[in-house]
Amino acid sequence: MAQQDRAIRTRQTLLSAAAKVFEERGYQSATISEILTTAGVTKGALYFHFPSKEHLAEGVLQEQGQQLPIPDRASKIQQLVDTVMVYAYRLQTDPMVQAGVRLTLDQQAHGLDRTAPFTQWGEIIQTLLDKAQSQGELLPHVVPAETAEVLVGSFAGVQAMSQALRDHQDLLFRASALLRHVLPSVVLSSVLTSVDLSESRGAKVFTELQALEAEQAPPTSAG
Amino acid sequence: MAQQDRAIRTRQTLLSAAAKVFEERGYQSATISEILTTAGVTKGALYFHFPSKEHLAEGVLQEQGQQLPIPDRASKIQQLVDTVMVYAYRLQTDPMVQAGVRLTLDQQAHGLDRTAPFTQWGEIIQTLLDKAQSQGELLPHVVPAETAEVLVGSFAGVQAMSQALRDHQDLLFRASALLRHVLPSVVLSSVLTSVDLSESRGAKVFTELQALEAEQAPPTSAG
């Protein structure tokens, strides 16, 4: 394995370990030495990649924001729905995404900038709404920046409620219900009737993304 | 002061101290002894009212749910809006409400039942939607239980986003924006045009409630 590959893998190991420890302990109680033990790497390797606990947390926050790119859709509203539903699907299954959301909502994480995930998601959603608006999918009164903030904030709470009540098991239903409640006040009904808002949408698009990824990946030398 | 009054006052002092310490430290890091010092009461008094940290947290959660009763409105949708906007207003200003919301969203609060606030708020909102439905204010397809859960979950996130980005300073705007985005898909437009959804609604109704309370209170012996 080339040195660069090894560095990338070590970084990933550290982020996974950090995600696990932050998820279990919360930001404030988590210690570098526990992350080190969980990761099973040298102290030198850790400090090379992440000079502090804050850097580790920022790394986790960035990872969860790294979304698989949603394929372009003719309807930007469908693309927005796909973005939200795939994120909900990943939140049910991916420890890195879970840890990222938990850090974002951790009021006890003093010293950690928790604004970035809200801001980044706000920008992603607003960009899609801007495009939807310019191709005539939105109702005339809609202000994309405001709607984006409502959607991002609402999703954060809907997932928190799902986590507290059902350990995220009903998250896809709740995310779909949120979109069914907000989009009719934003999107032309003639557009919305053709949009798939169902709770199975997340898994469906996630499978599509994995197939696309498999096509694009170079053949591995192993096997 | 009668013995019973003194007990009520001590209980309130303890809850205020607990709210302060939970808000600063989070549930897990907060200690009974810190709450004791902050409250300035005897250990015996504390254990008489609250045998454990969990009981203190549950007390705080119950307090924040104690809403000033919103006066009956002809439109149950206006009453729902008033309930949400007064809560947002209190969340900006009342440390007990702030601590309650924080505990509800504290994933680190192991051993604490964080479902109650979601469930209680769900029931309050659903009751209002049921009444709105029976007097013909809602669109035909609406399922009050589902809409109530969307509203409660969304509000939890909108306040978390407002807290993270602006320390709750823009909460009234965000709460009003949430209602403006959700209610058009739930309420008949002929009803909604007469409902005050503005961000100033919370302060307005809060003032109304205080006036009502002053009228109803017996004259104090002091002064």
Q: What is the pLDDT of residues A177-196, one digit of tens each?
A: 999 999 999 999 999 999 99
Closest CA to A66 of A39, A94, A41, A47: A94
Interatomic CA distance for residues A14 and B143, integer angstroms: 46
pLDDT-derived band of residue A143, with 50, 70 and 90 as boundaries?
A: very high
- Decide if pLDDT at B17 tops 60: yes
- Decide if pLDDT at A148 tops 90: yes
Give Cα A29 to chain centroid, integer Å: 24
Taking CB atoms and an 8 Å cut-off, how many pairs form between chains A and B? 128
Contact check, Cβ <8 Å, A153/B149: no
Lowest mean pLDDT among A88-102, A129-143, B73-87, B120-134: A88-102
Give the pLDDT of residue A68. 66
Interatomic CA distance for residues A159 and A177, integer angstroms: 12
List the beta bridge partners of residue A187. A138
Handedness of CA A103, A109, A111, A116 (dihedral sign): positive
Give the pLDDT of residue B223. 40
- Decide if pLDDT at B219 tops 80: no
Average pLDDT of the segment spanning A105-122: 86
Decide if A221 is inside a domain.
no
Contact check, Cβ <8 Å, B158/A174: no
Interatomic CA distance for residues B61 and A164, integer angstroms: 14
Lowest mean pLDDT among A25-34, A203-212, B63-72, B173-182: B63-72
Give the pLDDT of residue A41. 92
Number of domains within chain B: 2
First to last CA, chain A: 16
Q: Are residues B94 and B153 in the same domain?
A: yes
pLDDT-derived band of residue A221, with 50, 70 and 90 as boundaries?
A: low
Q: Are residues A18 and A102 in the same domain?
A: no
- Residue at which a domain ends, from A31, A57, A83: A57
Contact check, Cβ <8 Å, B154/A152: no
What range does the domain containing A10 cover? 3-57
Give the pLDDT of residue B28. 85
Q: What is the mean pLDDT of chain B?
A: 91
pLDDT-derived band of residue A111, with 50, 70 and 90 as boundaries?
A: confident
| Spatial contact of B54 and B64, defined as CB atoms under 8 Å apart | no
Decide if B221 is inside a domain.
no
Interface test with B, best of A25, A123, A154 (most B CBs within 10 A): A154
CATH of the domain at A177: 1.10.357.10
Who's near B211: CB < 8 A, 6+ residues apart?
A: none
pLDDT-derived band of residue B67, with 50, 70 and 90 as boundaries?
A: low
Asked if ipTM goes beyond 0.90, one says: no
Decide if B222 is inside a domain.
no
Give the pLDDT of residue B50. 94
pLDDT exceeding 70 applies to what percent of chain B?
A: 95
Contacts of B25 in chain A (CB under 8 A): 108
| Spatial contact of B184 and B158, defined as CB atoms under 8 Å apart | no
Q: Are residues B136 and B186 in the same domain?
A: yes
